[in-house]
Amino acid sequence: MSEIIGFKVGEEIIDTQTAQERGLSGEEIIFDNSIESLSIIRHSCAHLMAQAIKELYPDAKFFVGPVVDEGFYYDFKTTSKISEEDLPKIEKQMKEIAKKKLPINKSVMSRQEAMEKFKNDELKQAVMSRITGDSFGIYSQGDFEDLCRGPHLPNTRFLHSFKLTKLAGAYLGGDEKAEMLIRIYGIAFADKETLNAYLTQIEEAKKRDHRKIGTEMGLFTFDEEVGAGLPIWLPKGARLRRRIEELLTKALMIRDYEPVRGPEILKSSVWKISGHYDNYGENMYFTTIDDVEYGIKPMNCVGHVKVYQSSIRSYRELPLRFYEYGVVHRHEKSGVLHGLLRVREFTQDDAHIFCRPEQIKAEVSNIIAFTDSIMQAFGFHYEMELATRPEKSIGEDRVWEVATQALVDALQEHKISYKIDEGGGAFYGPKIDIKITDAIGRKWQCGTVQIDMNLPHRFMLEYVDENNQMQEPVMIHRAILGSFERFSAILTEHFGGEFPFFIAPTQIVLIPISENQHTYAEELRKQIIALGAYAEVMDKNETLNKKIRNAEKQRVPMILVIGEKEQQSGTLAIRDRREKSQYEMKESEFLNMIEKKMREVSF
């Protein structure tokens, strides 16, 4: 029988010692790979790592060591130089400590006692300055102790399935002006089998890294002269993106969305009306024109509000569905930028729907169905999460209740099981977050559906109802892909660069064996492009084998080798990399097949 390592009391997770001291009991947490159990395991493993570091580098001082989505980390500093090559040594020391089966004990100190105890430790002083209250939890194991609120395992013997994964730099408290600390990340599970499966996934993820594949395939690049977090789309990446846009645009037109476009900078006065200035200002960029402050848009919603305000609206017009592939800018700290997944400029597949309150459920239901068709086209499994009102928010309770219930009703209508993210909503309304699972089991946050009854109120939006009375519409924010940058990165890693034919940047490579076949290859290329696909002719002065290898490296779905025989007979020799086969086909049949392939996928 698995051992009990803690309890879940309401939303709080506590360890067994804390439960005993406070006389509390709740849902038992046993030693396994559940979310609650892993939280305790990884929290304890962070302290185990800190203890090992302290033994190896006695002058080490520690800041914080939280549990995060990717495992755990600890920020610390030492006069010793530590690199990735030192991680196995630290890991070995952790295993030696764990084998000692050290009890993990909690005690409590007053602020005064803690300040005195850690008076020579500036990092601990920094930790305590960020915590309110007059008492601090202290967890100790052997001769190591640290400030911590827990929860922790009762003994280090539980810790046997862990791995240190990477080393990075981190500013103290995330402040770019503060001191740079060392951050070591790790992962831990309840058993070695799960750990090994995770490590296998990580190795596979490295092979699929969109930054590596993007460089190999020439999809995108970054340039320090341009600026960090500002992607530059190269021709092949732009073709991939354009194809997704084409499919999406056609689907939007069928669903009665209207294209609009708002400016990329708007006066700060409108951002103050919307609430972004106060609630989101730290993530925005500002500039001054003619002594007037402007904000570069982090979202497209205010521009779409202005589209709505451009005309008197009648209830007969509603719902109004506006879409825009809107370029937005958001301030991201340098340390969190990550290829196309986290950038400072990106393009959202954004839409805003203005409707009557009684139309909310139907509109959200349509969005859910639309989402399903897109995810099926790419072969993604997905789940949805309902995010409720956060602490930092605007609007009346009644408005939030109505909006949240509409989302619940739409989810239930589609018989979609969903999780609830308490307090995870936008500051202006509740939302549904769309999370997809890729080919190696990783989950990605992509699209979102957000109900907003606050922006219409702030901008005094109105429509004339059937009784000739002025009413306030509801606004729905909607993005399914999220952003073209992030979605392209996810697609690249999901397919490992082996994009399906309908979106591949280069779908066909034509390789003429000699100059005599070059003209024929170019004519065939033009016919392929006329069908909406993209083909390249490899005419460099290289051997046939090298041309084929280069096409293979580019992960092109189809390679056609054209010699005199093929030119004379009109029969094409096809290497189909997706089907992993080789076959021959008449030119006319081949072109018909390409035309069919370009039509067989739609949203």
What does the alpha-carbon distance between residue 286 and residue 292 come to, in Å, rounded to a whole number?
Answer: 10
The percentage of residues in the chain with a pLDDT greater than 90, rounded to a whole number, is: 68
Bigger pLDDT: 173 vs 359:
359
Q: How far apart are CA 364 and CA 349, in angstroms?
A: 16
Which phi and psi (to 5°) does residue 94 adopt?
-60, -45
> What is the arithmetic mean of pLDDT over 117-121?
87
SS3 247: helix
Three state DSSP letters for 290-344: CCEEEEECCCCHHHHHHHHHCCCCEHHHCCEEEEEEEEEECCCCHHHCECCCECC
* pLDDT surpasses 90 at 167: yes
Q: How many angstroms separate the CA atoms of 557 and 575, rounded?
A: 8
Report the pLDDT value the prediction gives residue 555, as an integer from 0 to 100: 94
What pLDDT shows up at residue 84?
A: 92
CA distance 466 to 434: 36
Helix (H) or strand (E) holding 188: strand 180-188
Is 80 exceeded by the pLDDT of residue 427? no
User: Phi and psi of 549, rounded to 5°?
Assistant: -60, -40
Give the integer Cα–Cα distance in Å for 380 and 437: 6
b/e sequence 540-556, b meaning 16+ C-beta within 10 Å: eeeeeeebbeebeebbb
Tell me the CA distances in angstroms from 289 to 109, 265, 339, 368, 592, one per residue in order: 55, 11, 32, 42, 56
Residue 1 has pLDDT above 70, yes or no: no
Mean pLDDT of the chain: 92
- Say how many C-beta atoms besides its own lie within 10 A of residue 450's C-beta: 22
Instruction: Please write the tens of the pLDDT for every residue from 518-552.
Output: 999 999 999 999 999 999 999 888 888 898 898 89
Nearest to 500 by CA among 555, 444, 554: 555
- Tell me: the pLDDT tens digits for 97-110? 999 999 999 998 89
Which of the four pLDDT bands, split at 50, 70 and 90, describes residue 173?
confident
With a CB cutoff of 8 Å and minimum separation 6, the contacts of 588 are 570
CA 579 to chain centre: 31
Confidence of residue 130 (pLDDT cuts 50, 70, 90): confident
Rounded Cα gap, residues 26 and 6, in angstroms: 9
- Calculate mean pLDDT across residues 257-285: 94
pLDDT confidence bin for 297, thresholds 50/70/90? very high
The least confident of 151-165, 295-309, 426-440, 467-481 is 426-440
pLDDT in tens, 193-211: 999 999 998 899 899 999 9
Tell me the pLDDT band of 216, cut-offs 50, 70 and 90: very high
Dihedral angle over CA of 62, 64, 69, 70, nearest 10:
-10
Cα–Cα distance measured from residue 314 to residue 459, given in angstroms and rounded to the nearest whole number:
17
Tokens of residue 85, six digits: 């090559």
What are 245-266's pLDDT values in tens digits? Answer: 999 999 999 999 999 999 999 9
Q: What is the C-alpha to C-alpha distance for residues 482 and 273, in angstroms, rounded to an integer? A: 25
pTM above 0.85, yes or no: no
28: how many CB neighbours lie within 10 A of its CB?
Answer: 14
Average pLDDT over residues 487-515: 94
Instruction: Indicate the pLDDT class of residue 23, thresholds 50, 70 and 90.
Output: confident
Q: Which two tokens stand for residue 536?
A: 């390249």
Q: What confidence category does residue 9 fall into, taking pLDDT thresholds of 50, 70 and 90?
A: confident
- Going from the C-alpha of 496 to that of each of 40, 81, 94, 220, 270, the distances in angstroms are 34, 36, 35, 15, 43
With 0-12 / 13-18 / 19 or more C-beta atoms within 10 angstroms meaning exposed / middle / buried, residue 501 is buried
Q: What is the pLDDT of residue 135?
A: 85
Mean pLDDT of 501-508: 95
- Between 210-217 and 235-254, two packed helices, what is the crossing angle to 10 degrees? 110
In single-letter form, the type of residue at position 362 comes to A
pLDDT at 40: 93
Phi, psi of 27 (to 5 degrees): -70, 125
CB 365 within 8 A of CB 414: yes
Residue 477 main-chain phi, psi, to 5 deg: -90, 135
Strand ranges in 330-473 using DSSP code E only, listed in sequence order: 345-355, 381-387, 418-421, 431-437, 443-452, 463-464, 470-471
Give me the percent of the chain exceeding a pLDDT of 70: 100
Q: What is the mean pLDDT of residues 338-359?
A: 94
Q: Which DSSP helix (H) or strand (E) runs through 288?
A: strand 285-289
The pLDDT value given to residue 63: 92
Burial (Cβ within 10 Å: 0-12, 13-18, ≥19) of residue 582: exposed
**Residue 326 — pLDDT band, cuts 50, 70, 90?**
very high
pLDDT score, position 304: 97
How far, in Å, CA of 524 to CA of 514, rounded?
16
Out of 126-140, 228-242, 462-476, least confident range = 126-140
CA–CA distance, 35 with 424 (Å, rounded to integer): 18
Would you state the structure tokens that stand for residue 87, as one six-digit string?
């991680």
The runs of H, that is alpha helices, within 100-175 are 111-117, 122-129
pLDDT, residue 362, reads 92
Task: Identify the pLDDT of residue 229.
Answer: 95
Please list the active-site residues. Answer: 301, 330, 348, 350, 352, 431, 477
- Name beta bridge partners: 13: 8
pLDDT of residue 323: 97
pLDDT for the residue 178 = 85
Token representation of residue 114: 């803690």
What's the mean pLDDT in 376-395? 89
What 8-state DSSP symbol labels residue 186? Answer: E
| Tokens 């020799």 sit on residue | 573
